[in-house]
Chains A and B, each alone.
Chain A
Amino acid sequence: MDKAPDRKMFDAGGLQVITSFANSKQQTMSVIYGNAAAQYYTRSGQDTDAEGALFRLVVHRQADNKFWYGSHINGALLSVESISGTAGNWFYKQEYGKTAATSGTRIAYILSHKPSVFP
Chain B
Amino acid sequence: MRLPNLKKKRISLVVALFLVFVIVMQFFSQPVRNPPVTAAIKAPAAVLNILQRACYDCHSNETRTSWYDKIAPISWLVHADVTTARSRFNFSTWDTLSPADQQGRLWEMVNMVLTGKMPLPTYTAIHPETRLSSEDIDILKQYVRDLSPARYHDTVMIHAAGQELKQVQQKTTGMPVAANGVAYIPDYRNWQVISTTNRFDNHSIRIVYGNDILVRAIRANQTHNLPEGSTIVKVVWNSIEEKNGDIIPGTLNSVQIMTKDNKKFADSRGWGFAKFNGIALKPYGNTPLFNTTCFNCHKIADKNDYVFNLPLPDDELK
In the complex, chain B residues 187-222 whose Cβ is within 8 Å of any chain A Cβ: 189-190, 192-202, 205-207, 210, 215, 218-219, 221-222
The distance from the CB of B22 to the nearest CB of chain A, in whole angstroms, is: 43
Q: In the complex, what distance in Å separates the CA atom of A7 from the CA atom of B218? A: 7
Asked if B29 is at the interface (CB within 8 A of a chain A CB), the reply is: no
Cβ-defined contact, B301 with A67, below 8 A? yes
Residue picked from A6, A71, A115, most chain B C-beta under 10 Å: A71
Chain A: interface residue total (CB-CB under 8 A): 46
Which residues on B are within 8 Å of A, measured CB to CB? 107, 110-111, 114-115, 141, 144, 148, 161, 164-165, 168-169, 173, 189-190, 192-202, 205-207, 210, 215, 218-219, 221-224, 235, 237, 244-249, 251-252, 255, 276, 279, 281, 300-301, 303-304, 308-318
Cβ-defined contact, A31 with B314, below 8 A? no
User: 24 A-B contacts, Cβ less than 8 Å apart?
Assistant: A3-B221, A4-B221, A4-B313, A6-B221, A7-B218, A7-B223, A8-B311, A8-B314, A9-B210, A9-B218, A20-B196, A22-B196, A31-B207, A63-B317, A65-B308, A69-B111, A69-B201, A70-B107, A70-B199, A72-B198, A72-B200, A74-B312, A75-B317, A116-B235
Which residues on A are within 8 Å of B, measured CB to CB? 1, 3-12, 16-17, 19-26, 29, 31, 43, 60-61, 63, 65-76, 113-119
Cβ-defined contact, A22 with B198, below 8 A? yes
Q: Which of A7, A31, A73 contacts B193 (CB 8 A)?
A: A31
The distance from the CB of B144 to the nearest CB of chain A, in whole angstroms, is: 7
Given contacts A7-B313, A17-B193, A20-B196, A71 and B247 within 8 Å (CB-CB): no
Q: Which secondary structure dominates chain A's binding surface?
A: loop
Give the nearest-CB partner of A1 in chain B.
Answer: B224
Cβ-defined contact, A71 with B197, below 8 A? yes
B313 CB contacts on chain A under 8 angstroms: 4-7
Q: Which secondary structure dominates chain B's binding surface?
A: mixed
Residue picked from A24, A61, A114, most chain B C-beta under 10 Å: A24
A19 CB contacts on chain B under 8 angstroms: 248-249
Cβ-defined contact, A117 with B252, below 8 A? yes
Q: Which of B202, B207, B251, B314 contacts A17 (CB 8 A)?
A: B207
Given contacts A6-B314, A7-B311, A71 and B199 within 8 Å (CB-CB): yes
Apart from A12-B193, A29-B198, what are 11 other A-B pairs with CB-CB below 8 Å? A6-B221, A20-B206, A21-B249, A22-B198, A24-B198, A63-B318, A69-B111, A69-B141, A72-B197, A74-B197, A117-B279
